[in-house]
Structure 1
């Protein structure tokens, strides 16, 4: 009887621990993690305009830093600290509100900074804040070329800009061109596999390319970028936009596909269909997936009962296992395009750029914070 009672007690303790692990943290706890990680970067880069040096020197309006500012603006949205806004303004001013490689660029990575420029323009409509990004997109729209986005990361980097311009200027030609380019990436270039509800990163990974286990290569962060693109665009455009239904349909297909691929520890692997190909915890893809799920629950699109456990498990995994005491973010895969890039990915490994991982983390934190 004593043995049976002991077993029962152990089982109850394990069950209690499991239930505790699934608890959604308080808003204060979520915000605390966001502030801690953000403070780490702001202290490391007190001058937001200084060039970024890794394997070579780059201006700080490159895409990695632009993604960070997407996250910072999301943090500002839930806690409007003046220093956050000022840090973003100083970044824009340091580049004269310009784009990497000039306004004649067509490259989505170079456009990404425009997302924050346009956010700041909406707060204070000074013409210089949107002049270059609008001029760049306007030049693209004067041509018939719509196949620029030949890698799926580009959707997150550029689609929200077209959507923001459509709303700011009240000109749906921007959102229509965005849709044409999106459809070209999805259908003409064939990077979306409707059967699996996931995207190949670019043409290099289309069949017959296979992972070591014989499955298609679906890169975690790449699919995360698409999730973010769809969420941000649907959030920006009015509900009566003629293409909202298609964006929503693809988003739901992706959420359905991604949900069962979550690891037991709450993270997702870098290779979604081959967990043994550089398998392990990875923060950026995880953050973007949880961001998409939390946004869906917050907007009444995804069923809370079905997706909340994954959201809670994913956020807790990042907050408890990836965030260091000083705010450094672990398990961030470095830049690249596939599972083998930026390896090894560990708790203490430093990616080549530390900024975009934080941007992803702040985006997901902003949606988890809004959960009831």
Structure 2
């Protein structure tokens, strides 16, 4: 049936419909903009710095003696890797908020241990060498030779041999590769770069899945080992160590180094693989590919991913439009859900090598060591603080 309406009445109706449609689309666009803005609103810089200050103060007050042994099921010296990771975070905080007590606290730690490594300079164990990252950073502030002598001697001893299979677990990459990169830069000696790459490549050839772009923690988790849902077992914190190691190494490595491009490619591949694995609440599960296997909020892996991805955004290596909402969601969640009123951090998985270790992970549970979780948090927050 043809409409009997014509002339001015028809035009009025058409104009009314167009006006209604314009209002509708404007309303939809406004809602979309609001949603996008909400998704991408990072907590204020002051809130970030307050969280870093509070959590660090909690630890410094709990451990006023930087040389005090750590007594758990056994006694540990306080220059083990867990404490080394904390001081990496402290130095990152010092870079964005250069308070003298932070520097003094780190120097006292080095002095209490005579700038030495657990098990001495003959050790090849990456965990023993992790303290060297902070020793070297403190040397760069005040070039006292004793600060760098022992860590240099330890690495130099390794370079005198052809052995490259020391890093048989992926955590080791973060503990030692940035040490070698620092020494290479300071002494302008590419031998450090060559050896660290050889060792990295040896580990990568055995533990990196070049199809899924994630790492098995060690040979125990290579297939046929599977998670309960049939997926490969990729431990969150272990992959976080590698992502952190890559950026901490690239920070020291000349961009024209033949290895820089390789490290950057691996960094980008990992970052892209992590993107779809983020939980709705902003965290990553301890088991990256099986949310049903000890799934839940976990600080250490999430913090290391925030640290790495944020650095990638800042450097222009990762697309900001794609990755910025990811770190915003994660960092906001870390500050909101993990920081106790007294500065203690919750949802920290204890030491281990797989998703099941240290379970359950809860807000109120104190992990076996409190230091490395804080170190991861400080690394992430300090990098977030640098974002423009």
TM > 0.5 fold call: yes
If the length of structure 2 is used for normalisation, what is the TM-score? 0.91
**Aligned counterpart for 1:309 among listed residues 303, 308, 325:** 325
Q: Does 1:265 align with 2:301?
A: no
**TM alignment of 1:203-242, pairs within 5 A:** 203-242=219-258
Correspondence list, 1:1-372, <5 A: 19-20=37-38, 22-187=40-205, 190-372=206-388
**1:300 CA drift (Å):** 0.7
Query: How far apart are 1:370 and its partner, in Å?
Result: 0.8
Gaps of at least 5 residues in structure 1 are: 1-8
Q: Which has the larger radius of gyration?
A: 2
Cα distance in 1 for partners of 2:159, 2:97 equals 36
CA contact (8 A) 2:86 2:373 kept: yes
Offset, 1:21: 5.8
Whether the aligned pair in 1 keeps the contact of 2:247 and 2:308 (CA below 8 Å) is yes
Post-superposition offset of 1:273: 0.5
Partner residue in 1 for 2:23: none
User: Following TM superposition, by how much is the alpha carbon of 1:22 offset from its aligned partner in structure 2, in angstroms?
Assistant: 4.0
Structure 2 gaps of 5+ residues are 1-26
Q: Is the 8 A contact 2:40 2:324 kept in 1?
A: no
CA distance in 2, matches of 1:23, 1:43: 33
Partner SS state of residue 238, structure 2 = helix
Q: Which residue of 1 aligns with 2:8?
A: none
* Cα distance in structure 2, aligned partners of 1:262 and 1:232: 23
Structure 1: distance between partners of 2:89 and 2:317: 22
SS of equivalent to 2:247: helix
Paired residue total: 360
Deviations 1:217-263 (A, max 9, x none): 00000000000000100111111111000000000000000011000
What residue is the counterpart of 2:24 in the other structure?
A: none
State how far apart, in whole Å, the 2-side matches of 1:55 and 1:369 are.
Answer: 37
Answer whether contact 2:39 2:325 (CA < 8 A) is retained.
no
Partner residue, 2:10: none
User: Secondary structure of the residue that 1:236 maps to in structure 2?
Assistant: coil
